[in-house]
Structure 1
């Protein structure tokens, strides 16, 4: 059996994702589709609009055969680590290809990525009032002429770099399809049936009807910022500078900036973020760092987790089950389908903790991990 892999967040799953899934299966003639999906926290360091089980069910309903959770330590990360982790999981699951959307689908991203190392150490990286991503894009454009600025292009480029880094070229093919109808950052619903996840979330918050744009039912908007800020204020008020400094990705004196901001008693999360925002740090990076602080994830804990990945199975079809049975001897990483307290505290330590905090913020009473079994279709 041949599998195609999709790397997703489904925040929420919408009609554009349905198109992506169908085109992926069609273009690769795959027998099954494997979805690697961010869990309860997405790449931008924010809680997903619906929990991972709701979104896994939506993926299976849409035609996926296997849905695995992209662990928090890969999911809530900058693009390179996000991509590297997802590609690693799909390669171990013996996917033959990855299909992703792109604003420039005719670009050979593997070839583009081969030129990326030549940009390392470029003088533009010395521009200290710009983010690393901006400096890198400028250096890449100077080298190749390609302007890497669109969200899906950036992810496709990151997947290509991961494939090269892991020496998977020839074994794992990267295919891109054009993003249609709506841009990644479009924040309003259009007159068609495809809208961005950003626009759908905004419309949901504004109590607009989104049924024409997503097959997911019973979606509701939860204003998470107040609860998130309450928990974060407690952590930042009680932890000293040394404790904050020991958290993953807190560097360059960021702990002083954060501590000073919280001591000014900001009224809400938005005001707090505005106090620490600068050209050097994107909102996404700041959100991720704050979640790391909230979860108290130390550098060694995160590094150890990334060195010991696993496949957390969330949902499967009968075809997916048959694929796992056929390929299981080829997998190097363990598949976790049932979670007890021992596994939660050991293998799933970071994800388990992230799930508990997600539940508090989103007001969810059902357990995310303990005793939950994969969805069967």
Structure 2
């Protein structure tokens, strides 16, 4: 009987075809016969037919989603489940308990604790959680907190207004003090809300705009020992497009080591999370956002030599690898470009 290939599942990969390729390359580097199963709810998405196996899953909020996901994992005896969708992650880690159910069967599900997953989805709560562990973050108030907005206005000249429960840079505007309330009202019209109700001012946050340059930092924790920091990767953002890093240059991650250790420990981190950081002229780093998944900035460090997919597989299959996976060349500038592939026919 031919042995089944080892399997990982990537759900909601979307446009991240490179991530599928890099896991394939990691299987080859470790001399493991492996396959990447891609699960999507849209059979014509860019990634749906790109995996070694493609499967359809209901959307995360469908009543059948949990049963279908558990069945898919069992069918392929998957060792790792990865999702690249913020809202799916909230469902898996917080709303349904699926992450813990899968872990009880031996499946590795990278992420953070349920409390931190919920906090990462709520920018007001996230700011409070970061402040509680003494990680610098901009002063943040609800768009409905008039007193809080007045207090911020007395201390700063420019402000960031964005969706409280948004993904990417949803609703983002940079405004002056006299424009804040109008910007909040306008942002509320398109704001995703926690309970599915129409957006309100409370579904928007206002932050002091930070000075300095913006960086993307990947914080990587052990997949098998929650909260144990394994690596930190960093790049300075040169250009943004549609809320995602479009061009970046790799930099030394040492300045971000302390905040990475604090976040990893407090969040019970396993695997990779993508963190947005501003660094001022004095070298002070402040966290402005956390995406508990592979973010759009990871490719910049991978192309410079880092290899988190290799680390994931080494952990899943108990294969020792040296520390080369979190080493990369500094000063490498990379830029994204467009491509296209046929995904179906009607």
TM-score (norm 2): 0.32
Which one has a larger percent helix, Structure 1 or Structure 2?
A: 1
Bigger proportion of residues as strand: 2
TM-score by length of 1: 0.30
Flag the structure with more relative contact order, 1 or 2, with Cα contacts below 8 A and sequence separation at least 6: 1
